[in-house]
Structure 1
């Protein structure tokens, strides 16, 4: 066998070995979800040394009313079994609102069999439970999976503006429609444009990431 052939054969055998060693040493893929709503910077004692770290806001307690079953639903209940997807919409639900709700249908269908994923759509305008029940029916909301919720204006305003730090709603404006991913501890882990298919695809991916983290702590 010629020297060139020997060298070529050696390289062909060496490449898979090097690839294996590289993947073993550097191939761990970690998809870390960020936390939103920074609250303050605090000091933490780690291995005998003080380190400064950001403390993020946990959603405070809130209680809304569910349309179909006509009962109270709290934030604690929504996150009890896992994470939930939180969104807002007005009763007239213009075009952008309809796009958001259509995207949420996709999320529900993707995680239909997963009890650890819930959806909560909150009405931003005062209206009757009958109208909310009709929304739930129109979008095929699964009972106990996708909640259509309402409350008095101060409660909804506090949830939107104080807890989630969203800008005040402008009368007659169509949006913005910001969808939140809230984890089982009440932290906001994702924010998405509810009218964007690309953003909602990212939401679906990041729900999968959180579920994997919960299953493999």
Structure 2
């Protein structure tokens, strides 16, 4: 066999070997979601050396009446993840944009029971359970999938400012400061993503990152608290 033919044959045989080594080395790499809202930094002594580790905020449990009258809290969302948003029914265009985008998320994960949507009103004085029921129907909210919650003004304000760390209220219209941001909360009650709910590309990213979290749960790569 000629030297050129031998070299060519050797290269052909080498390609699958290189492909196998590449996949073996890099095929297990996965996209890891960041964690938001740091609380403090801990120092741990490991092997005689101090290592610094950031401790991230875990959302405390709050329970509020939903559009069906059912009281919903974190215990009802156990084992899954959810997307949090803030709105009020008399809100101008931006709330409608966010809710329209959230219908995409609901439809994408319609048959995935671990994914839910939680929308808190920031104007509980006006947004009663009956008002929220009609509002939820407008966006085709699926019962048990997408919850619109109302309740005590002070408790809602603490939720927004202390748990999600949104700006404190300014003025009285609406009664609590609302936000166009959406928050992805994992099964350990930590914020793993923050998105602009009025932008389609941000919702695409949200859908992708929900899928990433579900993948890690399915493959036991995301430890439980």
Q: Same fold (TM over 0.5)?
A: yes
- Paired with 2:58 and 2:96, the residues of 1 have a C-alpha distance of 29
- Superposition pairs of residues 62-81 of structure 1, within 5 angstroms: 62-68=62-68, 70-78=69-77, 80-81=78-79
Contact 1:36 1:189 in 2 (8 A): yes
SS where residue 186 of structure 1 aligns?
coil
- Number of aligned residues: 214
- Superposition pairs of residues 1-217 of structure 1, within 5 angstroms: 1-46=1-46, 49-68=49-68, 70-78=69-77, 80-126=78-124, 127=126, 128-170=128-170, 171=173, 176-217=179-220
CA deviation profile, 1:96-145 (whole Å, cap 9, x unmatched):
21111011111111111111111111111122222211111111111111
Q: Could you tell me the TM-score, scaled by structure 2's length?
A: 0.87
CA deviation profile, 1:168-195 (whole Å, cap 9, x unmatched):
35547x9641111111111111111111
How far residue 29 of structure 1 moved from its aligned partner, in angstroms, is 2.3
Contact 2:121 2:150 in 1 (8 A): yes
Kindly report the root-mean-square deviation, in angstroms, between the aligned alpha carbons of the 2 structures.
Answer: 2.0
Contact 1:81 1:115 in 2 (8 A): no
How far residue 47 of structure 1 moved from its aligned partner, in angstroms, is 6.0
The 1:45/1:76 distance shift into structure 2, 3 A limit, reads farther
Contact 1:96 1:175 in 2 (8 A): no
SS where residue 51 of structure 2 aligns?
strand
How far residue 14 of structure 1 moved from its aligned partner, in angstroms, is 1.3
User: Which residues of structure 2 form unaligned runs of 5+?
Assistant: 221-225
SS where residue 148 of structure 2 aligns?
strand
